[in-house]
Chain A
Amino acid sequence: MSDRGIPETVVIGVGNPLMGDDGLGIEVLERLRLGWSFRPSLDLLDGGTWGLNLLPHVESARRVMFIDAINVGREPGILVELEAEEIPRFLARKLSPHQIDVKEVLALAELRGTLPEELCAIGLQPESVEMSTSLSAPVAAGVDRLIERVIERLRGWGYVVEEAEALPGA
């Protein structure tokens, strides 16, 4: 990363696509990757469920946006936005003892003095986080609105975001 210089912004989709609505972050990331173009270029990262791998990406960016299913106990599919200090309360996911979660990644970055300047998380309230490869109906219905909001925030950060033209042959 350092030899390419510090990336301005990294958008990290987190979650597990085998766990129903938990796959939201990865689904949205793919849709951003395939359907939109960004200037200047943007890091779109499949964060999966492994937090510690995220640390270098979080540490080396000026702005970080997480996209995830966020459980705030509201009705499924509702748009949720969290700003920096609210994030650790809601993005705790741990499938293994050393599967360090987002909360711990941010704490480690803080300990090392490498927290990004801006940090937010955008997502939807999940309905079901159980073994399934598809999103629940209310969450699937909210994806367009979520993508719209992600793009608004990126534009607010100075990015030019346009719908990608279909690639020839694609």
Chain B
Amino acid sequence: MARTKLVVDPITRIEGHLRIEVQAEDGRIADAWASSTQFRGIELIMQGRDPRDAWAFTQRICGVCTVVHAIASLRAVEDALDIRIPANANTIRNIVLGMQFIQDHVIHFYHLHALDWVDVVSALSADPAATSNIARSISPWPNNSATYFAEVQDRIRRFVESGQLGIFSNGYWGHPAYKLPPEVNLLGVAHYLEALDWQRDVIRVHTIFGGKNPHPNFLVGGMASAINIDSTATINAERLTDIHDMIKRARRFVEEVYWPDLVAIAGFYKEWASIGGGVDNFMACGEFPEDDIRNIDSYYLPQGIILGKNIGEVLPYDQQLVKEYVTHSWYEYEAGDQVGLHPFEGETKARYSGPPTPWEYLQGEDKYTWMKAPRYNEMPMQVGPLARMLVAYGSGHEGARELVGEVLGRLGVGPEALFSTLGRTAARGIETVLLARRMEKWYDDLVTRIKGGDTATFNGERWDPSTWPASAQGYGYQDAPRGNLGHWIRIDDGKISHYQCVVPSTWNCSPRDAAGQMGPYEASLTDNHPLVDPERPLEILRTIHSFDPCMACGVHVLDVNGTPVTEVKLP
């Protein structure tokens, strides 16, 4: 049977999005290409700037990951200049970043990924009383009455009957791959709406510590949050209590809404525990240092590498083994297309050689993306919550072991089920629960130190450029919500002379490399991956969304004229 070429590419006027091309054959995906279609050159605009301002530029790389890039940038500068930040600043960064993870993961689940599994239109035919019974059976969360679910259902019905599905207009509703009963669909939609109010409440942590959101203030050498328990203009007793309440509310929602929903929904989709595995190497740089970041053993989520799915052996991580290839990317290196360069030696020289736009196909092109291909010791790596949870599990992390065991037990599947689309989605939930609990400890640590008289949040010893060496270089890393993020900086005569970022989505959305090895998206889509109806490629969305891609994967969007986002071409 002939292969069907398929392009999942949203709106060309929206920048920076992800484009997926596949070839479908006999209900499965035979080949796949992941392409990011926007050139980003943050590295180029960093040159010559004051390294103390780098965070403010890098936090604009992405509207979702503001905090993430800011902190990675601070760490790069602090590494280069050997700056040790005060314990309070480290704890505050953990709390800010922890809440970022929790909010980000929950929002990802309800506002992007859930609609791949939850059929909104089917929720209209649910019996609210039955939804109420299900809700009560899986969680003590109080919004669980039949009246409440009937109200939600009414609201959706009015919205749909007004002639427009609005935000829901782009789902493949009614697709046979949707398997939830209407009552569970209604539960999912109700929590989708509740998550909106929850997220706006808990993310105020950023406003309190950082001054504003979405672009909080940061500071090389610590945090810009002054602490004085009795002052009204600083972090005081009242604000600490406020933060504590938010941490408690975040945890409650995660434990009583997100986690039970995730496990319940997963139970209807067990076949996805053997679909979409792909690249079987995993990399975690580790996160949430509970001491100085140079003390790797202090990380709450450990650092390490797993090769060939062998969770019995966690190998050490060494950033010097990272290289980026441009063999199949629209860049050129001075030394040619076959070499890989470490980010300290990295070059960002764009050379577009693709076909004129609008593209028909990129598949078949030798170069097909603006993403470079990062490799670790010449191997492609999956990064993100699954990588972190596998490394944690393999390192004997008690919390990870307990929750992995719980979810595997409740689904009745073995550990091999982790290496899948469902595994990535479950790992994100496991991580969220772990962090929602750990936030309490960080909060307690902070309060204990403050009560003991330690209110330092800033180390200014190396603030003045006259204290810096003439040349320095540093590596700032962060295991961000979507995975291993690296910022590499070189400073000469007080100014940035070189800056490179390798972001998590570059690892996961990587194209093929010089050796022809596929990146994780590509490998997952071609690993025993179904595609029942090429006109409605719901299965592709499930797998790609399970990675939580952070470039505009506008695959859930319609363009201004309501044109469908998927174009299907027959050869």
Enumerate chain A interface residues (CB-CB to B < 8 A). Answer: 16-19, 46-53, 55-56, 71, 89-90, 92-100, 104, 107-108, 110-113, 129-133
Partner of A55, one of B13, B16, B196, B559: B196
Question: 23 A–B contact pairs at CB < 8 A?
Answer: A18-B57, A47-B214, A48-B63, A49-B60, A49-B62, A49-B63, A52-B111, A55-B196, A92-B11, A92-B13, A92-B557, A92-B560, A94-B17, A95-B551, A96-B63, A96-B550, A96-B552, A97-B112, A97-B548, A104-B167, A107-B166, A111-B193, A112-B196
Q: Is the CB of B159 within 8 A of A97?
A: no
Known A18-B60, A48-B214; 18 more pairs at CB < 8 Å: A16-B63, A18-B57, A52-B107, A92-B557, A92-B560, A94-B557, A95-B552, A96-B553, A97-B553, A98-B107, A98-B108, A98-B548, A104-B167, A107-B167, A111-B167, A111-B193, A113-B155, A131-B44
Residue interface mask B183-225, A partner, CB < 8 A = 1: 0000000000100100110010000000011110000000000
Known contacts A93-B14, A111-B166, A99 near B42 by CB under 8 Å: no
Partner of B560, one of A89, A95, A112: A89
Q: Is the CB of B64 within 8 A of A50?
A: yes
B39 close to A (CB within 8 Å): yes
Enumerate chain B interface residues (CB-CB to A < 8 A). Answer: 11, 13-17, 39-42, 44-45, 57, 60-64, 66, 107-108, 111-112, 155-156, 159, 166-167, 193, 196, 199-200, 203, 212-215, 545, 548-557, 559-560
CA distance A92 to B41 in the complex (A): 22
User: Which residues of chain A are within 8 angstroms of B155 by Cβ–Cβ distance?
Assistant: 111-113
Residue of A nearest to B109 (CB): A98
CA distance A94 to B167 in the complex (A): 14
Best-buried of A56, A97, A108 by chain B (most CB within 10 Å): A97
User: Which residues of chain A are within 8 angstroms of B554 by Cβ–Cβ distance?
Assistant: 94, 97
Chain A nearest CB: distance from B161 CB in Å?
A: 12
CA distance A132 to B39 in the complex (A): 12
CA distance A16 to B62 in the complex (A): 9
Chain B nearest CB: distance from A95 CB in Å?
A: 5
Chain B nearest CB: distance from A102 CB in Å?
A: 12
User: Which residues of chain B are within 8 angstroms of A55 by Cβ–Cβ distance?
Assistant: 196, 200
The 8 closest A-B pairs by CB, nearest first: A49-B63, A50-B63, A107-B166, A97-B553, A50-B214, A98-B112, A56-B200, A107-B167
User: Which residues of chain A are within 8 angstroms of B159 by Cβ–Cβ distance?
Assistant: 110-111
Residue of B nearest to A45 (CB): B212
Q: Is the CB of B552 within 8 A of A97?
A: yes
User: Which residues of chain A are within 8 angstroms of B13 by Cβ–Cβ distance?
Assistant: 71, 92
CA distance A93 to B15 in the complex (A): 7
CA distance A50 to B557 in the complex (A): 16
CA distance A98 to B549 in the complex (A): 9
Known contacts A108-B196, A131-B39, A99 near B64 by CB under 8 Å: yes
CA distance A113 to B151 in the complex (A): 13
User: Which residues of chain B are within 8 angstroms of A51 by Cβ–Cβ distance?
Assistant: 63
Q: Is the CB of B560 within 8 A of A90?
A: yes
Known contacts A48-B215, A50-B214, A131-B44, A96 near B15 by CB under 8 Å: no
Known contacts A104-B167, A111-B167, A53 near B111 by CB under 8 Å: no
Chain A nearest CB: distance from B524 CB in Å?
A: 16
Q: Is the CB of A95 within 8 A of B62?
A: yes
User: Which residues of chain B are within 8 angstroms of A130 by Cβ–Cβ distance?
Assistant: 39
Q: Is the CB of B213 within 8 A of A53?
A: yes
Q: Is the CB of B193 within 8 A of A96?
A: no
Q: Is the CB of B196 within 8 A of A94?
A: no
Q: Is the CB of B215 within 8 A of A46?
A: yes
Chain A nearest CB: distance from B323 CB in Å?
A: 24
User: Which residues of chain B are within 8 angstroms of A107 by Cβ–Cβ distance?
Assistant: 166-167
Chain B nearest CB: distance from A6 CB in Å?
A: 15
Chain A nearest CB: distance from B104 CB in Å?
A: 8
Best-buried of B61, B166, B213 by chain A (most CB within 10 Å): B166
Chain B nearest CB: distance from A38 CB in Å?
A: 19
CA distance A112 to B196 in the complex (A): 10
Q: Is the CB of A97 within 8 A of B44?
A: no
Q: Is the CB of A18 within 8 A of B549?
A: no
User: Which residues of chain A are within 8 angstroms of B45 by Cβ–Cβ distance?
Assistant: 18, 131-133
Chain B nearest CB: distance from A64 CB in Å?
A: 16
Residue of A nearest to B553 (CB): A97
Chain B nearest CB: distance from A132 CB in Å?
A: 7
CA distance A49 to B551 in the complex (A): 12
Chain B nearest CB: distance from A29 CB in Å?
A: 12
Q: Is the CB of A97 within 8 A of B16?
A: no
User: Which residues of chain B are within 8 angstroms of A129 by Cβ–Cβ distance?
Assistant: 15
Chain A nearest CB: distance from B356 CB in Å?
A: 18
